[in-house]
Structures are given as structure tokens and as C-alpha cells.
Amino acid sequence: MTNRRTFLQQTASAAMAASLATAALAAKARREPRKFKLKYAPHFGMFKESAGADPIAQLEYMAAQGFTALEDNGLMGRPVEMQQRIGETLARLGMTMGVFVIDGGDNWKTSLTTGKPEFHEKFLETCRAAVETGKRVNARWATVVPGYFERKLPIGIQTGHVVDTLRAGAEILAPHNLTMVLEPLSDNPDLFLRTSDQAYAICRAVDSPACKILYDMYHMQRNEGDIIQHIDLAWSEIAYFQIGDNPGRKEPGTGEMNYKNVFSHIAGRGYTGVFGMEHGNSKPGKEGEQALIDAYVAADSF
């Protein structure tokens, strides 16, 4: 009887200890933010239902959910004071600043392909302003879109004009460790830069560490497909990735792309940079924001 009582007491103690250990682990998980394997970078507005309208509160929420980077295409248009607050908050939270757009006005239509001096000079002026913006948030990458085709000129001449202007821009950016990343797009067939091999050739011609490729996987799935092979072909000139499933341009898992495999491949090649979350939420409200987080948890589980 004594042995049986001792056995039952020991069993109960062991069960209680296991229960306490499980509770302690759960409490620790609640206290410690999730850490994704990769540097996924949300945009402002993705979590406004959960965090509110204030950009700083949204940054705090992103960090609490385990995100370690930020993208802000419209950063150059924000007041200097807000740029400084964003930079200070990123530093405090240990987050990396992703891309902002080198935006000199109507960024898409104003075309570097024309060779017109006014477009060339406007771009260089905007690069100088981008340097100051980048300093406030410790940015290392900034998006560039060359603009529309100039259909009155042969494609080689257009390309030469683009190379000349980008080379001059790179000379402004390089001393400040700011890299322009060229983004091939699928939004409009009038846009000059549309494929990764075209961007690769331009980067090789510019021949500067301050001119590389932004490989937006949503756009490239639409324009060229075969994502992993094209990434490998252009690898030496890719400095940055962006995400969006196709069709729909929403979070991973909502379209045809296997982002878990793509992320695993890119990480396996040693990439440690930022993955910009340049897409919408597939569902509205807080439920949609949680679904977005869950999608990244799943895609990050490679």
C-alpha cells in the first residue's frame, strides 16, 4: 500500500511539474516576440486595424509580431520630422529599413529613356534628396523605375540613355552606401523595364555597387515565370526581393506561387537581406491582418 501511495504521489508530482513547465513555456512564448527566419518587411497600413493609424504604433506592432524590417515607398514625401521618428524607432526596435522610392514626381511616366536633359537632371536632383532621406532612417536601398518607352527611338538608344543617367545617379549614391535597386514591373506594357535579364544587362553596363536589381516576385511571375531559375541567372546583380502572390497580389498562399520553396531556395543561397511585403491583405479587418501573419508563419516554416 505504501509503495502504491508513493507511486501515485510521484506520478501526480510529475504531472504537475510537466503542466507547470508547459505553462512556463507558453508564458515565455507570450512574452517573447516571434522571430521569423527571414527579414520580411511590411508597409505602413498593413496592420492599421490592429495597431491604429499612427505609423510609430504600427512599427511597434510589427516588431511585436516578429517582423524585423520595414518598407515605405512614400518615405520621401513624409515630413522630415516623421522620417526622423521612423528612423529612431527602427533603431530602438532593432529593425532594418528596406526600400523607399526615389521619387521625383510622376515617377513612372517621366522617362529616362528619352535622353532629355531635364529628365536626367531631375533624376540626379532626386538622388541627392534621397541621400538625405536615407540618412534619417539608415536606409541602404532605394527603388528606381526608369519610366516609359520612348517609341520614337531604337531600344538600344533608349537603353544607352537609361545607363548614362543611372551611372550618374550611382556616383551620387555610392559614397553614402545607398544602392538604387531597379524594379522591372508588370503593371503597364508601356513601362521600359520589364524583365530581370534586361535589368541584369543594365546593371552590368552601369557597373556600380550602387546599381542593382529589385526582384519583385509578383511582377516577375507575371512577366517571365520560372522564378527560381531567373533568380539564379540574375543572382549576382540582385540586392533586394519583394513579395506578392499571383494572381491577386496578396500574401503568400493566396495564389499559384510556392513561396515556402522560393524562400528556402533564396535563403539557401546565403541571402540575408530584406524581403519587402509589397502586396495587399486578402481579407479585411483584424481577421485579415492575422491571416497575413499566419501566411508568413507558414511560408517561413521551411
| pLDDT of the residue at 284 | 98
| pLDDT of the residue at 23 | 44
Residue ranges in the chain whose pLDDT is less than 50: 7-8, 11-12, 14-30
Q: Where are the domains of the chain?
A: 1-32, 36-299
| pLDDT of the residue at 105 | 66
| pLDDT of the residue at 25 | 38
CATH node for 36-299? 3.20.20.150
| pLDDT of the residue at 13 | 52
| pLDDT of the residue at 248 | 97
52: left (phi over 0), alpha (psi -120 to 50) or beta: left
Q: How many helices (DSSP H) and strands (DSSP E) are in the chain?
A: 11, 9
Please state the φ and ψ torsions of residue 123, each to the nearest 5 degrees: -65, -45
Q: Distance (Å, rounded) from C-alpha 220 to C-alpha 184?
A: 8
